[in-house]
Structure formats: structure tokens, C-alpha cells
Amino acid sequence: MSVPDKILEYLQRKQLVSIEDVANEFNITKITAMNYLSRLTNLGMANRIGSGKYEYRKANNSSSIITPETQKIIDLVERYGKNNVLVWSINMLSNYSHYAIGNDLIFIETISAYKKSIRDALIQNDYSVVLDPEKRDFKDYTLNNRNTVFIMERKEKYGINNDELIIPTPERIWVDLYYYVTRKGLNFSSFELGTMLGNMIKSYAINYDRMLYYSNRRKIRDEMVIILYELMKNTNNIKVINLIIKGKNTINIINEILEGAYEQ
């Protein structure tokens, strides 16, 4: 079950809610409200603390590097409010890369009302800025000898609330990079994208439920399942597939089906 953004935002704002609170706020049944809150609990974004009560769960350290350049951007845009701006960059995953990433690509996701104001503020500070980037911008950003900042409108604010701006989790950044490489022609090595994923898995930096949840928001969940399943087969890491397909009996049935299909 996909959880609407408004449910998570409500939980973040209230910090502590009951099933009845959510049902009344959004005019839904208590069963639906309970299912949403249970899903957020499974995603590591809520804690159940009593009968029918849930509290917002702040994520642990994102394991993402905030580079000095990205921090400058955050300092420039923080006046627009932590609930209105999300900042992330490719170099936030440099911990998992096997080489130093060159020119960084920094993304600012914000509401429509602030896009142009943020653009003007960054240009005044001598940044190379692209507002509402198109495919050619994703392909050409490496031609710029300065770090490039892309500003775009996005309602999705799923990440880590560090009491300043929302900082995306590593799996969210990775899924976004995959999306931009495969859908927008982002000029970034696919092999390096795989290296990052492998290192993230080895470092236990991925919450698989969150990764699949966010992939579903991007409408690429099936591709993520295929990638993770292939990784499981090649590394014999059954834990990965257990997180995708619930229940060992289901996995055994799938394997028998595949064996029968291969013999034909």
C-alpha cells in the first residue's frame, strides 16, 4: 500500500497521532488510517507507542556526505523554510563511489512559488543554475567547469528531517540518480551507479522497504525488484529477496516455478 505524502507530512507536523486523528483529519476509515500508519512503521518512519498511537520516527544518520559546496547552498536557501526546500547532490553518495566524482550536480526541489527567487539568489552568488531542467541539461552539465544547480518543482519530500532542511536518505538519492540516468539521459556512469549500490548494501546503508517505497513513487519499482533479485542470485544474499518477497514459502514456490519453466 502506497502512503499519500499528506499522511507522512501530517505525522511529521504532529509528531504523535492516533488512528482516530488520521481518520478524522483525512475523512478516511479507521482501518485505512491504521494501514497507512502500519505501512509507515514498516518503512521505519513511525513508531507504534501504544494502542492505536504512533509517533514520527526521525531517521538515523543518513550516511550521506554533505559537501562544503552543498552546505553553502543549504545556507542560502534555508530561509525559505525546511518544509519547502529539499537539497541533495551526487557527491552525497561519494562514500560509496570508487573514484572522486568530478563536477557535482546539486538538486534543489521546492514549491513553485519559490523557484525563481531561489534561482535569483543563487545567480547573485555566482552559481551556474538551471531552472526546470530538460533532457539536454542533464546530458550537458559535465561541460560546465563549475558545479551546476538544478532547481525543480517536486511535492515529494521523503527524506531525513534534521530540524533544518530535509536531507534525502542514501536510497532516495540512488533511486533518483537511477531515474535521471534512465529517464532523462543524465551523463553519469551506469557502472559507477552499480558500484555505489553494491557498496551501500555492504555498508548496510539501505532500508529496502524505503527503497522500494520510493521507487514506487517514481514508478520504477519493478526495475528495482529486478535489480535486487539479480543481486541476490549472484551474491547468494537471500536476505535481500526476503525483504522484497515476504515469506520463505513464497520464495521456495517461485524457485520451483522457475525450475519448471527452465526445463521446458
Share of the chain above pLDDT 70, in %: 83
Q: Are residues 73 and 46 in the same domain?
A: no
143 inside domain: yes
The average pLDDT across 220-243 equals: 75
119 inside domain: yes
The span from the CA of 167 to the CA of 60, in Å, is: 11
Q: Label residue 166 by pLDDT band (50, 70, 90).
A: low
Is residue 123 scored above 90 in pLDDT?
A: yes
Q: Are residues 77 and 186 in the same domain?
A: yes
211 inside domain: no
203 inside domain: no
Q: Are residues 90 and 143 in the same domain?
A: yes
Q: Are residues 174 and 149 in the same domain?
A: yes
Are 206 and 200 in contact by the 8 Å Cβ rule? The answer is: yes
CATH at residue 13: 1.10.10.10
Q: Are residues 127 and 12 in the same domain?
A: no
204 inside domain: no
The average pLDDT across 10-21 equals: 88
Q: CA quadruple 101, 73, 11, 29: dihedral positive or negative?
A: negative
Is residue 261 scored above 50 in pLDDT?
A: yes
Set of cell numbers at residue 235? 551474491
Q: Are residues 51 and 82 in the same domain?
A: no
Is residue 193 scored above 80 in pLDDT?
A: yes
Q: Where are the alpha helices (DSSP H) in 62-169?
A: 68-77, 115-124, 135-140
Task: Report strand pairing: 85-89 vs 105-110.
Answer: antiparallel
pLDDT at position 28, please?
92
Lowest mean pLDDT, pick from 7-11, 80-84, 129-133, 135-139: 80-84
Q: Are residues 82 and 116 in the same domain?
A: yes
Is residue 241 scored above 70 in pLDDT?
A: no
Write down the pTM of the prediction: 0.73
Strand ranges (DSSP E) for 85-126? 85-89, 105-110
Orientation angle between helical segments 5-14 and 19-26, nearest 10 degrees: 130
Q: Are residues 109 and 170 in the same domain?
A: yes
209 inside domain: no
Q: Please give the tally of structural domains in the chain.
A: 3
91 inside domain: yes
Q: Are residues 258 and 166 in the same domain?
A: no
Cell 527567487, located at residue? 117
Share of the chain above pLDDT 90, in %: 24
For residue 255, CA distances in Å to 132, 168, 231, 235, 262 come to 45, 35, 15, 16, 10
Q: Are residues 169 and 121 in the same domain?
A: yes
Domain that includes residue 12, residue range: 5-56
Q: Are residues 129 and 240 in the same domain?
A: no
Question: Among 174, 193, 212, where does a domain finish?
Answer: 193
202 inside domain: no
Q: Are residues 129 and 174 in the same domain?
A: yes
Tell me the average pLDDT of the chain.
81
